[in-house]
Structure 1
């Protein structure tokens, strides 16, 4: 996601490196590179023109800041403009004063609308809101069954009247059922079409006029680039939408949708789908997306993912084990599984500042090494997992583990040596306020030392010229609230 755009924008910063200040002459090559980068990312042409013009105006009018290089100052200007284009702030889902809050889900066929409905229901469940999904798509084969299956997976009820009922009646009776059951949010999954047509719009209008929703969310495929913005504008003109959900943002999307929807349609992006799993839905934060686009990572979202997976009591117990150097292979295996629960290895790495340059081969290599390490730990006895020092002293034990996991003796020895070094480092860092539960996860903090057995696979280090900017005090406060200390 956005890798190509980030690379092209980095070429723009290079145009200003070595310059004494930002001027009309030296800024032109950088602006041309930005224009090319945005167009290649399939950003709407008018948005590109306005963006470049605004960046130029702000850059030429910017005061020189002592100690800040022109290229760094230019990055900050572009970052601020990206945030402004995408909406400046997160726009949360509406909540009606009187229950239930009604959300109408709309979109074309194939955008992932039904799955997005289930994802949103699970998101609301995590927010301690109870939801009801209403199946009004009576046209697509197995659409109702799909929603029922998803509902059973996330333990969210589904209201349906089969395929012979009128979608408007289904929606109306679904809301009446929600009121009777004391449910606070109703998500109405409507029918999609392969393209916008009169019948689809008429049905949506009839449902909307009947249920009077608090939100009308359009689900659009991020892979369609700027077409997603045009589609949002068309739906808004014809039925009125209050926001968009971008799906498939974890795929090969070039960024055009995220950068075009708000400016072209006037409606905010409220959520983004970042994976196939039903948990893979995130609120859309323009400032975080801008950081990802510029290769700064997204530490806040990373911490939030960790908070969802980490139990505070477990984290405190792990903190104590770290400080006393009692961290063992059982704890390490638990952290590996925690990492898996947070999402794909690649998606987690891209949230870390400087890690957006990881290639697909690097990601694949890291995932493979995680599996190999897990296999070696799986071949250990309970006693060996609890007392890693046994493996340092016993070549016979290491040979047995190597044979059982299908690896070489030297690989097992390297795992043990790396683990012991990591345990010492974790003890030192924990005493200095390292984040429990995540900080000790080799490969998550530092990246240079890496996972035991991974060595310095990634090379470590941040991307030159980039630093996480803004909101430092607020982020630190959030982490301490959960007992994470410093990331």
Structure 2
């Protein structure tokens, strides 16, 4: 997901940087590409709308378009607003104060959820936690097998059910299994979807 976003933004920035002159039309076209790239990367549409609005307002307010290097200055503004949006300081993952830390990895299909789940499990393991990877994806072919292979490669346990069942029920059984093996960090890999599964979220609450 991040690789695709980087590639898309890099292409837009290259075109902007090579532009000798930029009008409002060209600015809006470039920002449209940035907006599409962010939405395709599963960024919340309200965050995207606010981000694009801030970049456009700043570019017009600073009279960037009439400067000698408008493309480079717009790129600088986009980068500045990205940093402001993401935050300048490193923010560690919050840990549960009572009971195991539970993380549900969600996002659209093909966005790299399973890989991220594995990286989170490894991060927790390296920090002294006892992570458990859980698969609730029965739609993607071999999704559970991929998670199991990933878990084996980093030497952490995985909870995988062969028979298809509602994700919320799988999550409840996974929590019971986590208690049994004394896991204190549970990372749940979910089916690719745009909307959050409220029932699954409630099961993990």
- Report the Cα offset of residue 36 of structure 1: 3.0
Q: Does 1:122 align with 2:126?
A: no
Distance 1:136 1:82, change over 3 A: closer
Q: Does 1:54 align with 2:53?
A: no
CA contact (8 A) 2:117 2:189 kept: yes
CA contact (8 A) 2:95 2:101 kept: yes
CA distance in 1, matches of 2:106, 2:163: 18
Secondary structure of the residue that 2:163 maps to in structure 1? coil
Q: Does 1:5 align with 2:5?
A: no
- Report the Cα offset of residue 186 of structure 1: 0.2
Distance 1:38 1:92, change over 3 A: farther
CA contact (8 A) 1:107 1:113 kept: yes
CA contact (8 A) 1:135 1:160 kept: yes
| 1:38 match | 31
CA distance in 2, matches of 1:126, 1:30: 51
Secondary structure of the residue that 1:149 maps to in structure 2? helix
State the aligned residue count.
182
CA contact (8 A) 2:131 2:183 kept: yes
CA distance in 2, matches of 1:159, 1:136: 9
Q: Report 1 or 2 for greater relative contact order, CA contacts < 8 Å, sequence distance ≥ 6.
A: 2
- Report the Cα offset of residue 187 of structure 1: 0.7
- Report the Cα offset of residue 7 of structure 1: 1.2
CA distance in 2, matches of 1:191, 1:5: 31
Q: How does 1:315-464 map to 2 (within 5 A)?
A: none
Cα RMSD (Å) = 3.5
| 2:87 match | 88
Question: Which one of the candidate residues 180, 198, 203 is aligned to 1:205?
Answer: 198
- Report the Cα offset of residue 131 of structure 1: 1.4
CA distance in 2, matches of 1:127, 1:192: 28
| 1:191 match | 191
Render the CA deviation track for 1:151-200: whole Å, top value 9, x for unaligned.
Answer: 1112121013331554323212322332343322101122336x76xxxx
Calculate the TM-score normalised by the size of structure 2.
0.68
Render the CA deviation track for 1:329-377: whole Å, top value 9, x for unaligned.
Answer: xxxxxxxxxxxxxxxxxxxxxxxxxxxxxxxxxxxxxxxxxxxxxxxxx
Render the CA deviation track for 1:201-248: whole Å, top value 9, x for unaligned.
Answer: 6xx322211221xxxxxxxxxxxxxxxxxxxxxxxxxxxxxxxxxxxx
| 2:158 match | 158
CA contact (8 A) 1:11 1:33 kept: no
CA distance in 1, matches of 2:135, 2:110: 16
Distance 1:105 1:40, change over 3 A: closer
List structure 1 runs of 4+ shifted beyond 6 angstroms: none
CA distance in 2, matches of 1:164, 1:36: 45
* 5+ residue gaps, structure 1: 16-28, 62-68, 213-487
